[in-house]
Structure 1
């Protein structure tokens, strides 16, 4: 397991590191600590991680800036903060758990159990998509469907807007709410935007959306989708 701790308080960072090593032991393949927002942003860009422990107050900088940038990342985030109000807001960006300070071993173990079982009901409200000169926050409720595109994805909104995002379909599927469903190896669809399922001879399957668009559906996904709508 590859872990990143973003914490500007040395004592808190050391304490969390100690707890994680006691609980996980050899399961940890790497554990890195960053104390600044800029350092953590650079580290995430250059290094793959599985789990992020993020303090939302970093010596005057706001951890939400990192949270927004990584809201569609393939790793999970656990917030460690003394500010409950901020933590509640953080769940809108798909965080796995909130561990209040002062941190206890028992509470960290609960958060790790949630991570290792990978059982959660995603409540992600936004995904952050980097554009040339800014970060575009897209509300998941406004997403129509997502298409695989040359090792990246295209995010299509209900209003016709679309954005190219440098994530894979598999990685973004991990953080989307449960009403997003895979219908094809190349498509994830907002189930609330499906008007009908159409079938035909020769293994023909497609989904008609409320916008009138039709998307090809894989035969292996037909039964699971039919059972949910």
Structure 2
């Protein structure tokens, strides 16, 4: 696990670091610390990470400016902030958890546990997915997303307007964030359940989900019964 702590108060950063090292133990490969917006942005752009622990107030700079870049990346983001009123907005951007300050070890461990165990977020919180484009971050509303296809370490987002966008997060990480409305119907596909028009059984025990727009997505044999039960 490679982790970056983004926190402008060194006392709090050291406390987070101490607790994180204690919680992860030997599974922690590297733990770095950045105390400014620009330092954190440079590190995120130039290093491979599994998790970012982000404060929302960085010496006067808004952590949300960094958040839009962070959530477009392959890693998960956990907010640690005193700005509790911004928790809903942070979840809408696709953070894994929001730990309000002041916090204790148990609350931080609960948040980190989500990253370790790949615990799914069951509530309808994520409203957008941020996609990194060449020189900007594009925000895609979840309501415009029909299904997601795994593409190696990346994923392809298929939208209602017929366009396709590439996301840096894996299918597993997006499943963790979007499990409230998307179902893993196949090892390579996440589909919005409300977009399924019909479930088709073809010869040779092949199962197909036909979407409202006419597209046909394969259903894994081990997934068929669960999908049929939820769809009906």
TM above 0.5, one fold?
yes
CA shift, 1:117, in A, is 4.0
> In structure 2, do the counterparts of structure 1 residues 145 and 111 end up closer, same or farther at CA, with 3 Å as the change threshold?
closer
Which of these residues, 199, 212, 215, is aligned with residue 213 of structure 1?
215
Q: TM-score, normalised by structure 2?
A: 0.85
> Aligned residues, how many?
229
Structure 2: gaps (5+ residues): none
CA displacement, residues 12-62 of structure 1 (integer Å, 9 cap, x when unaligned): 212222233344443432111011222222322333333321101112222
CA displacement, residues 76-106 of structure 1 (integer Å, 9 cap, x when unaligned): 3221111111223111122232222233334
Distance in 2, matches of 1:166 and 1:109, equals 26
Q: TM-score, normalised by structure 1?
A: 0.86
Greater alpha carbon shift after TM alignment, 132-141 vs 143-152: 143-152
**Partner residue, 1:147:** 149
CA displacement, residues 178-215 of structure 1 (integer Å, 9 cap, x when unaligned): 32122233322111100110112122321111122222
Give RMSD over aligned pairs: 2.4
> In structure 2, do the counterparts of structure 1 residues 117 and 202 end up closer, same or farther at CA, with 3 Å as the change threshold?
closer
SS at match of 2:177: coil
Asked if residue 90 in structure 1 is aligned to residue 90 in structure 2, the reply is yes
> In structure 2, do the counterparts of structure 1 residues 187 and 99 end up closer, same or farther at CA, with 3 Å as the change threshold?
closer
